[in-house]
Each structure stands twice: as structure tokens, then as C-alpha cells.
Chains A and B, each alone.
Chain A
């Protein structure tokens, strides 16, 4: 690829920029790791089997926040999938011309909206709304299921955080699925209509063709929800508990960090425990998104020739 001497010089003059990107990433992971060692060597795996935050006595366990992060992200990705797929189909199949442009611009607008705006809206309007129209009825009728067993007191809970997060990730998931869906070569669509299928049947086949891309979008949306802070902190209720119930206030790793990090330097190990839980979240998030982008690339080379 690199042929002449001047080309080589050009290439070399730009590599510092690439190296700076690499060193930032390495630095981030390295510092997280370095700060984690202290508490990992002090507590070991016991850190992940308990749910307790007692800096005065030096007892920590972050099982609750870690499970809270996973459950919140699962609710989030389910919510956004329920809305993203219909939104994708609407934009790709049912809208044309100006209307299509407007709706896809609205989705783009939602995607770039600062998360703090969603957070304000969710904490003041969405949570009370969810409490009186979703959580209370679910608790009243289905309280024998452990997930809905506790009475929603304030409404600030894992459930509320998951839904709020899901709404904010709808545009992200939609953009990934839509890009994949619209990249399916037209011959597949022609083949569907050629054998006389209705629009519904054609969409069903096209969606099944883009299934790996949808799976990738789900993983990417999940990974993004893992680290999201602002929306979660204002909706989850911030409490160090471990319950099977979705309507109880809880923590995610990032919410725990946001509310405890400022005072953590006062206690030995407290800061380091926060770094451990953040290191796990970060690594998990990076690995998931790399895997998902690999899925998309593979899918593209198979379907979109």
C-alpha cells in the first residue's frame, strides 16, 4: 500500500494521532485496573457475593449494583426493541418522500438529545406516570409473581430506570436496525413480491434476513445501557438492596459511583471498590460492543454482497 518515500512520510506524520487514541484507551483501562487491585487483594471474590455498603466498618459487597445494572439494561433493551422494530418498519416500508425524511429526522433528533434532558423528564413525569398506570396495577393483580411482589412506594425503581433508559436508547437501536434493513439488496424484496407475498409476509422474511444485525443491535443497546449514568441516577431510587422485586429502589454500578465517589476517598478501600465495579462494567461493555460490530460486519459481507 505504502509506495513512495513521501507517502511513507505522510503515513508516519499521521500515526501520532492514531497512537494518541490508543494510549487514551490503554490509559483508561490501566488506571481502572490499577485502582482496583487494592480492594481486590483485600476482599477477593467475596466482594461479588454480598450486597453491602458500610465504609465505616470497611465491609463492602457489590452484588446488588452489578445485578441491578444487568436487570436495568435487560429491561431497557426489551423496551427499546419493542419500539425500535416497528419504528424501523414504519420508516422503511410505510412512509415515503417528505414524511419519511421528517420521521427519520425526528429519530435522529431523539438520538442526539442530551441524556440529561431525558433524565429531567423521566424523573418528574415518567416515573409518577409509570407508578400509577403500570406499577400499581401490576402489583395489585400479579403480586404473587416475585418480580411484582413489593408495593411501589415512590415509583423510583429498577423498573422505572429500565423503561426510561429504554426510551432513550430507542433511536440508537432503530438507527442500527434501519441501516441493516435498508441495506438488504432489493433482489430479496423482488423475490418476495414475485411469489405473491403480502407486505406483512415480505417484511417477515426481510426481518428474518436481518436477524444477525438485530441481535447485534440488541447487544450494542445493552452495552450502552450498562454504562449510562444520568438517567439511571435520577430514576432508580439509589438504595443498596438486593431484592427480586422490580419495583424496589436499587443501584446500578454507575449510579453507585455517581452517588458515592465524591466521599469515597474518606474511607480506605471505598474508592477502590468503586473502581473494581466500574472496571467490570467497562470491560463487559467494550467486549460486547466489539463482538456486536463483528457480527454486523460478518452479516454485511454475507447478505450485502
Chain B
């Protein structure tokens, strides 16, 4: 009897561990193949990959992805600050008044927003832009319905909001009440307590939230499908005009039947993966977690 229980215990352990290893295998395979295929593209294209325009489908040369890199930079630059501001202040409201009905409602809204498919966001932003352009004369100059960095950022903000809100509210909630109590007893106002105590205590975690939100924004594809505009014949200069983005380029090129576009897609995928790895390593190694008790 005792033996059977021990055998079963070991058998279970073997099955569980091997399934766990199997669960992580895709990631390692993915990293390996992205590096192999991506490096072959990057090495052949050289530095020009970062400054050239994408190749034509039947071109012999690999060209580059400058429009997408600049586009993603523009999109991140315009959407990240708004996302952070909106979600941080909402998170402060919710953590300062945890028992008020407002915070319960906001939590529910954030959860609902997070489960809206990102492609739905893209459709809605697109049709809103059409409606506005059709009803307000003269606004076409600022709001191109064919897509622009502005529209794309709007969609990205909606997608990233619940994500960064969850981060911020989790971190702010982790500050023990004793810290605030001490600050209040010194006669500090609510704002001062938040700015000088709460935020300072979780300063590094705030940076984590910002970086992870940035990673989310840079990697988002579906929200940009109908909003960004896919401008690939030059480097975008204005946020009012159409732009391309790294994920969009990968998406279009990997679905195309052309070999040269597949190779470009692998190269950009490697760049995106490296970006993400960099952010992740900064978060994990650079930002050591503060232990609060």
C-alpha cells in the first residue's frame, strides 16, 4: 500500500514536470527561430535595414524598414504619456477612496475595457473618424480618415488604458497604510501624501508600469489595422499623416506570398523581440522590487 502511494507520487511528479517543460518549449523554439531567420536578414541588409524603405515584392535587395520604425516611435510618443496620465490619476482616485462606489465602478469598467477585442477598438475609432470628418467641415486636414498617427494613438490609448491602470492600482494598493498614517499625522495634505510619500515608496514599480505599458503599445497590431494608415513609401514626419508600425509591417508581410517580404518580416520581428527583451530585462534586473511590510 505504501509503495503504491510512493510510486503514484513519483509518477505524478514526472508527468507534471515534463508537461511544464513542454509548456515552455514553444518559447525557446520561437526565440531560436526568430534569431536564426532574423539575423540572416539583418546581416545581409546591414545598417541600411534601419534607414531604407521596404522593398518591392519582386526586388532582389532587402531594403529597410525605416518608415515602420519611425511610425512606431511616433505612435508610442503620442500615446504613452496620455495613457500614463489617465490611468495613473484614475488609479490614485481608486486607491484613495477604496470604499466609495466610484472605485468599484471604475474597477468594473477597467475589466470590461480590457476584454474588448482590440480589433473592435480599431473599427470603432475608424468609424468615429469617418463620422467626424463627414459632419465637421474642414477638419479633414487634421483628421485623415485614411489613417494617421493621431488616430492610431487614440486606438492605442484605449487598448493600453486598462492594462496600465491594473499595474498602477496594484502598485499603489501595495503601499501599507502606516506610511500614509505617518504622513497625515505630520499634517500633510492628501496631495502631498500621494506625491511625496505614496509615489516615492513605489517609485520603481511605477517605472515598471510605464515600461510594460510601452511594451504593450509597441507590440499592438490589431488596434492599428484600420487606424494607422500603413504609409510605407517614405518616412513619416507629421502625426497628422498616415504612418506605419512595426507590428503592422510584420503582419502584412508574413501574410503575403513574397519571399523577400517574409525575410524582411523576420528581420523586423527580431528587432521587436530585442526591444521587448531589453524592456523586460530592465524591468527584471534594473528595477529591484522594494519589499514593503
Interface residues of A (CB under 8 A from B): 1-2, 6-7, 10-11, 14-15, 17-18, 20-22, 24-25, 27-28, 31-32, 35, 82-84, 86-87, 89-91, 94, 103, 105-107, 109-110, 112-121, 123-126, 167, 170, 174, 198-201, 203, 223-224, 226-230, 233-234, 254, 257-258, 261-262, 274-275, 278, 281-282, 285-286, 288-290, 293
Contact for B24 among A21, A106, A120, CB less than 8 A: A106
* Cβ of B185 under 8 Å from chain A: no
Of the residues A82, A121, A281, contact of B33 by C-beta under 8 Å: A121
Contact B128 A31 (CB under 8 A): yes
Query: 8 Å CB contacts to A: which residues of B213-263?
Result: 215-216, 218-222, 225-226, 247, 250-251, 254-255, 262
Q: Give the docked Cα–Cα distance between A90 and B12 (Å).
A: 11
Measured CB to CB, the nearest residue on chain A to B19 is: A86
Report how far A170 CA is from B27 CA in the complex, Å.
Answer: 11
CB pair A22 B120 closer than 8 Å: no
Say yes or no: A223-B115 contact (C-beta < 8 A), given A21-B110, A114-B220: yes
A28 touches B191 (CB 8 A): no
B contact set with A: CB distance below 8 Å: 5-6, 8-9, 12-13, 15-17, 19-20, 22-24, 26-27, 29-30, 33-34, 37, 86, 89-90, 92-94, 96-97, 99-100, 102, 105-106, 108-121, 123-124, 127-128, 158, 161, 165, 189-191, 212, 215-216, 218-222, 225-226, 247, 250-251, 254-255, 262, 265-266, 269, 272-273, 276, 280, 284
A14 near B17 with CB under 8 A, answer: no
Question: Which residues of A lie under 8 Å from residue B219 when comparing CB positions?
Answer: 113-117
CB-defined A-B contacts under 8 Å, sample of 19 = A1-B99, A1-B100, A21-B113, A22-B106, A27-B124, A28-B120, A28-B158, A83-B20, A86-B23, A89-B16, A112-B276, A116-B250, A120-B34, A198-B9, A199-B13, A227-B115, A257-B119, A285-B116, A286-B112
A117 adjacent to B272 (CB under 8 Å): yes
A82 touches B19 (CB 8 A): yes
User: Chain A's nearest CB lies how many Å from the CB of B215?
Assistant: 6
Task: Knowing A110-B27, A115-B219, A290-B111, say if A17 contacts B6 (CB, 8 Å).
Answer: no
Known: A24-B113, A107-B24, A278-B123. 16 other contacts (CB 8 A): A15-B102, A17-B86, A25-B112, A27-B124, A31-B127, A86-B17, A86-B23, A106-B24, A110-B27, A113-B273, A116-B247, A228-B117, A234-B254, A257-B123, A261-B226, A286-B115
